Amino acid sequence: MALKESLSMELEPVAPFNFKLSVHKPAGWWWSTPYELFQDETLWTAARLGGDLLGLKLHSVGTLLKPKLSCAVYSKNSLSDKEKIHLTETLSRALRINEDLCDFYSMAERDEILREVVHDLYGLRTTAWPELFPALILVLTLQMAPWKRSSEMMDLLLKNYGDDVNFDGKTVRYWPSPGKIAALTVEELRSKAKLGYRARNLSSIAKELNGGFPSMEDLYVMDPEEAKEKLMTLRGIGEYSAELISPRMGFPLDVWSAKIFNVLFFKKETDSPRGSIPDLKKTAEKHWGEWRGHVFTYILNDLPKISERMGVDLTKF
DNA sequence: GCGTCCAGGTCTACC
DNA sequence: GGTAGACCTGGACGC
């Protein structure tokens, strides 16, 4: 049954704000689910509020320098005032509506690597996950796997246990709830989603989230270091994963990105990408300080153009 | 066709 | 506190 429109609102992001670059990133990352649809400056996607599925239709009605977003929310039942406020706050946080990038851009203008990158991607907001569980599924499946295999694991989870959200003439496949995954056996997750050793970790995480683990909103208002430490109490979530999904992103280097940043920093490939991670993290912190998470997102979404300018293929890794 | 290696990390045991 | 070694699975590679 199709969901009905239950809330309509407008959001006015701090300029500059490029809607397309922010929710439909050049490197191919989705905002909420891999099955969301993006056409003509409109995003049809989904989310969960409490346990209920929502359809979201986000449309840019402004410009880069005078941005405005029209947001329509579709649900099975009407939303209470409290739910409407909660949803508005979640959308504002996850779209980084109030984030002012002025200081980042000022810093970038003085930086040899970043100067042209921020021109390429002017107005792009960094990754901010609408919900915690899908972000945790992503980082668990990224571990120790080539992208193709990670993608296969996520797809099997979505197809076997996810939900279809029907609204506005569209259907968007959305992630399973923690409760649904928590009810499955580790053996089933291992075989049906081909998760391997990750099945035990995902099962444990689903049970934690089902049992009252802080939400993304709770983590957002915590001290960034405290939020990271909290995430790392989850089984299978280490420093890399916690930094990648933390509401205030760190510099989440893995083997793939370490190879790229070695070439950017030191102009050469490394024989030991994993071993180089601590040094790269220190260099990034010294070089870019609190903006290193933004640098991470901007650079990894601009690899083709950076490669062209440097004469080195950074997309091959 | 078959064996081996290793990938967009994390945990544990051991020193 | 530092660090090998194990961990699912499947594609790449050498033979």
pLDDT for res A83: 96
How many Å apart are CA A75 and CA A232, to the nearest integer?
33
**Eight-class DSSP state of A269:** -
Percentage of chain A lying above the pLDDT 90 cut: 90
Nearest C-alpha neighbor of A140 from the set A254, A287, A294, A266: A254
**Band (A172; pLDDT cuts 50, 70, 90):** very high
Any idea which of A15-29, A87-101, A146-160, A237-251 has the lowest mean pLDDT?
Answer: A237-251
**Band (A127; pLDDT cuts 50, 70, 90):** confident
In the structure, how far is the CA atom of residue A313 from the C1' atom of nucleotide C12, in angstroms? Answer: 21
**Band (A128; pLDDT cuts 50, 70, 90):** confident
Instruction: Name A173's bridge partners.
Output: A164
Query: pTM for this one?
Result: 0.96
**3-state percent breakdown (helix, strand, coil) of chain A, nearest 5:** 50, 15, 35
Mean pLDDT of A28-57: 95
How many Å apart are CA A143 and CA A151, to the nearest integer?
11
pLDDT for res A14: 98
In the structure, how far is the CA atom of residue A3 from the C1' atom of nucleotide C7, in angstroms? Answer: 43
Mean pLDDT of A264-291: 89
How many Å apart are CA A26 and CA A37, to the nearest integer?
15
Q: Which nucleotide is nearest to A254 (CA to C1')?
A: B8
DSSP for A24-41 reads S-TT---SS-TT-EEETT
How many Å apart are CA A145 and CA A165, to the nearest integer?
29
In the structure, how far is the CA atom of residue A270 from the C1' atom of nucleotide C13, in angstroms? Answer: 22
Q: Tens digits of per-residue pLDDT, A48-70?
A: 988 899 999 999 999 999 999 99
How many Å apart are CA A71 and CA A147, to the nearest integer?
32
In the structure, how far is the CA atom of residue A133 from the C1' atom of nucleotide B10, in angstroms? Answer: 18
Mean pLDDT of A112-126: 95
Mean pLDDT of A260-284: 89
Rounded to 10 degrees, the C-alpha dihedral A309/A99/A249/A298 comes to: -10
pLDDT for res A275: 86
How many Å apart are CA A62 and CA A64, to the nearest integer?
7
Establish whether the CB of A147 is closer than 7 Å to any nucleic acid atom in strand C.
no
pLDDT for res A216: 95
How many Å apart are CA A72 and CA A153, to the nearest integer?
31
How many Å apart are CA A64 and CA A23, to the nearest integer?
14
Strand B nucleotides within a 7 Å radius of protein CB atoms: 7-11
Strand C nucleotides within a 7 Å radius of protein CB atoms: 7-11
CA angle A70, A299, A279 (to 5 degrees): 135
Q: Which nucleotide is nearest to A252 (CA to C1')?
A: B8
Mean pLDDT of A306-316: 92
pLDDT for res A55: 98
**Band (A317; pLDDT cuts 50, 70, 90):** confident
What CA–CA distances, in Å, run from A159 to A163, A174, A176, A299? 8, 9, 9, 32
Establish whether the CB of A157 is closer than 7 Å to any nucleic acid atom in strand B.
no
Q: Which nucleotide is nearest to A190 (CA to C1')?
A: C8
pLDDT for res A253: 92
pLDDT for res A272: 84
**Band (A250; pLDDT cuts 50, 70, 90):** confident
> Residue A311: which region, alpha, beta or left (left: phi > 0; alpha: psi -120 to 50)?
left
E strands, chain A, are 4-11, 37-39, 42-49, 52-60, 69-75, 163-167, 170-174
